[in-house]
């Protein structure tokens, strides 16, 4: 039985855990052009795709809602695990 592939999220990398991961199938030519464009703009291909998607949304007058910071005490009270707490 095959196990599910790892998403590659490292422990302690909060920003990575907040993003939605999904599979995207692209034409090889589109991928090559995305790589080329990302290199010229000093971004990863993933960062370039997100940049282009955000730009396309902005051109249509859509602004993604920003999430509030995690420092809020009301959202952390619902979790039994608090940052920095130790369980022995």
- What are the domain boundaries of the chain? 27-62
Neighbouring CB atoms inside 10 A of 16's CB total 12
Q: Give CA–CA dist 12/2, Å, rounded.
A: 27
11-56 per-position pLDDT tens digit = 555 555 688 899 999 999 999 999 999 999 999 999 999 999 999 9
Residue 37 token pair: 């464009």
**Residue 36's pLDDT is what?**
97
Are 64 and 55 spatial neighbours (Cβ–Cβ below 8 Å)?
no
Burial 23-37 (b: 16+ CB within 10 A, else e): eeeeeeeeeeebeee
What is the model's pTM? 0.54
With cut-offs at 50, 70 and 90, classify the pLDDT of residue 64. confident
66-79 per-position pLDDT tens digit = 765 655 444 444 54
């Amino acid at each position: 039985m095959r196990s599910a592939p790892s998403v590659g999220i490292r422990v302690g990398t909060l920003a990575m855990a907040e993003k939605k991961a999904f599979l995207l199938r692209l034409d090889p030519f589109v991928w090559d052009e995305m790589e080329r464009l990302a290199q010229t703009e000093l971004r990863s291909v993933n960062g370039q795709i997100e940049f282009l998607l955000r730009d396309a949304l902005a051109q249509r007058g859509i602004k993604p809602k920003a999430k509030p910071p995690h420092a809020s005490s009301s959202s952390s009270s619902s979790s039994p695990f608090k940052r920095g707490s130790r369980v022995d």
